[in-house]
Structure 1
Amino acid sequence: MNLKKITPSLSMLMAFEASARLGSFTKAAHELSLTQGAISRQVTALEGALDLPLFIRCGRHIELTEVGRRYALDIAPALARIRGASTRALAFYGGEGGQLNLGALPTFASRWLVPKLASFYQQHPNMVVHIHSRIGEYVLQGTGLDAAINVGVEPFSGLLSERIVPEEMIIVCSPKLLVRNPVRSIEDLFSFRLLHIMARSEAWRELATQYQINPRSALAGPQFETTIHLIQAAVLGIGIGLVARCLVENELNSKELVELPFKGLSAKRDYCLLYSPDKEGHPVLQAFRAWLADQIIESHSL
């Protein structure tokens, strides 16, 4: 097949896509800052290159043929991706500005990261950090993400990492729950409904083993895909949660939750910023890493 025939010029495609979307050569010309005649010639050239009728012309009125309608639907997303790629490239190399696509665990993003981001924008008003919620393991290659925040144990295969905060897990519940049912011993604790996070489904069993209690005692209770829902359930008194301290600081400060006087699980994992070596020179990532380091120092000093 003739590659030239099936690879029309971008100017032809842009003229056709705009005309198809707007239903008018005149409107397409206005959008693309061309003359109506130039748009008409580009569309005619495209029809000639493809040897297909894309429009039915009735005077000044145009109407897509069926093949034209299907062709317009197919090329519109491709042109949008090209425009998006160009926008991102310009932003990346646009002086002090730029964009960072950051994947983050949803609860960590909402509870730890986003509340602090105002200071990043004060320091870098022309930069933008897009936050994409992700749960589970990250494979950055091919995702469109420049970096990610995940929880795990270093090293992360093929990625550079920087620690943010340890995953120290503490035992929390609503104070209203304790009024009804006091917890005087660790054995009392395991008589309550225990709230589980799917990604850390073994946590309560680890705690039971730590206190030499039958791990089967830790099996009962609802599971939640995101920690934010587990926290909400704990605040409402549905059960007792075993959760990272950094995710419930607001509830502890407001007394919506209280920390029970039993040692939870020591940090075996850390929340980390992850990025591939080829992204190390990304200007917005460099700025974000420097800002993040300041936040970590500030958190430790509190």
Structure 2
Amino acid sequence: MRKSYTPTINELQAFAACARFGTTTRAAAELNLTQSAVSRSLGTLEERLGVALFDRVRKRLVLSPAGQVFLAQAEDILGRIDTAAMGAMAFGGAQAVLRMAVLPSFARSWLIPRLAGFEAAQPQVSLDLSARLLPVDFERDPFDLAIMRSRHEQIGAEIESLVAEELIVVAAPQLMAGRAVLDDEAVLDLPLLQQSTRPTLWLDWFRESGRDARRILRGARFDHFDMILDAASAGMGLGLVPAIIAQGALASGRLVQASPRRFATGESYALILPERAREAPHVSAFRDWLRAEIGA
């Protein structure tokens, strides 16, 4: 049961609109209400809380100190209500919504190009995909699963390795200047595109070579592997990327593998499932589909 001092949604909307526009007239136009309705909601809210939320200055509404404190919380509440409503609306005619947190480059370069196949096989499941670099807190975030590197394992979550992470060197065909492959010295003669969130990858590639780190770490820096793929495609330099993420660009001819070597990082791409979602039919269907796609 709502307590007497707990504001209604209409009161919060009226307050937030008045804070944005400074007058009840403009707030009413924004909310598609009459000016008197907004004034009543604002007056009822101030009476309910027992505090003035605005100072009336020359026919304008200026937030009082109490109103300034209240505004951030009120906007947060309204935002979360909107998010909750949209989350419910996402079901539409679907029986379930599959909420996934996926590494950005894996999502863009490998998963998304294949998702139409899952939708065709499971039309009753609606997809909700978020790009995440950091580990998911399944207690806080309402995801059904995550696809991360294996080091992102969560306590209480089941982790299933999908494919070992192997790095390869890729280049635009024109950057190869007619050469089929490059040895390590030829690689160092070209700009090396750096992954800023994993800055030691090129150092790992040349770990046993004894070469000067200052030569290895030069080159433009990018946050995500898919950005490195784009930069390499534009001829900006050589990219060192996971083989699975480069599959599409290599298959299309947009990039070529510039070195015959591969480097295993010791990690893998992994499917991470919270306990609450493991037996859900739509999650199980996605896991089976994902295994089949990885196997193919």
Counterpart AA for 1:221: R
Would the aligned equivalents of 2:203 and 2:217 in 1 still touch at CA under 8 Å?
Answer: no
What residue is the counterpart of 1:51 in the other structure? 50
What residue is the counterpart of 1:77 in the other structure? 76
Would the aligned equivalents of 2:191 and 2:236 in 1 still touch at CA under 8 Å?
Answer: yes
Q: Return the alpha-carbon distance in structure 2 between the equivalents of residues 44 and 232 of structure 1.
A: 56
What residue is the counterpart of 1:194 in the other structure? 192
Q: Return the alpha-carbon distance in structure 1 between the equivalents of residues 85 and 172 of structure 2.
A: 51
Counterpart AA for 2:218: G
Closer/same/farther in 2, CA of residues 215 and 148 from structure 1, 3 Å limit: farther
Aligned partner of residue 206 in structure 2, secondary structure: helix
State the shift of 1:168 in Å.
1.9
What residue is the counterpart of 2:129 in the other structure? 131
Counterpart AA for 1:297: A
Closer/same/farther in 2, CA of residues 125 and 9 from structure 1, 3 Å limit: farther
How do residues 10-89 of structure 1 correspond to structure 2 at under 5 angstroms? 10-11=7-8, 14-20=9-15, 21=17, 23=24, 46-52=45-51, 66-67=63-64, 74-82=73-81, 84-85=83-84, 88=87
Tell me whether 1:300 sits opposite 2:295 in the alignment.
yes
Q: Return the alpha-carbon distance in structure 1 between the equivalents of residues 134 and 11 of structure 2.
A: 42
State the shift of 1:160 in Å.
1.5
Q: Return the alpha-carbon distance in structure 2 between the equivalents of residues 145 and 51 of structure 1.
A: 40
Q: Return the alpha-carbon distance in structure 1 between the equivalents of residues 238 and 36 of structure 2.
A: 71
Q: Return the alpha-carbon distance in structure 2 between the equivalents of residues 133 and 276 of structure 1.
A: 18
Counterpart AA for 1:208: F
What residue is the counterpart of 2:210 in the other structure? 214
Closer/same/farther in 2, CA of residues 63 and 181 from structure 1, 3 Å limit: same
What residue is the counterpart of 1:179 in the other structure? 177
Q: Deviations over 1:58-115 (max 9, x none)?
A: xxxx986745965566424314424544664x57999953434322211111111111
Q: Return the alpha-carbon distance in structure 1 between the equivalents of residues 42 and 10 of structure 2.
A: 6
Aligned partner of residue 161 in structure 1, secondary structure: strand
- Equivalent residue in structure 1 for 2:226, among 221, 228, 239: 228
Percent of aligned pairs with the same amino acid: 24
Structure 2 regions of 5+ residues with no counterpart?
19-23
Q: Deviations over 1:273-302 (max 9, x none)?
A: 223223435x4xx4144224323323423x
Q: Could you say which structure has the larger radius of gyration?
A: 1
Structure 1 regions of 5+ residues with no counterpart?
57-61
When structure 1 is superposed on structure 2, of 69-78 and 216-225 the one drifting more is 69-78
State the shift of 1:44 in Å.
6.0
State the shift of 1:161 in Å.
1.6
How many residue pairs get aligned? The number is 280
Closer/same/farther in 2, CA of residues 38 and 255 from structure 1, 3 Å limit: closer
Q: Return the alpha-carbon distance in structure 1 between the equivalents of residues 204 and 93 of structure 2.
A: 50
Aligned partner of residue 251 in structure 1, secondary structure: helix
- Equivalent residue in structure 2 for 1:116, among 107, 114, 121: 114
Aligned partner of residue 269 in structure 1, secondary structure: strand
Aligned partner of residue 192 in structure 1, secondary structure: coil
TM-score w.r.t. the length of structure 1 is 0.71
Tell me whether 1:163 sits opposite 2:161 in the alignment.
yes
TM-score w.r.t. the length of structure 2 is 0.72
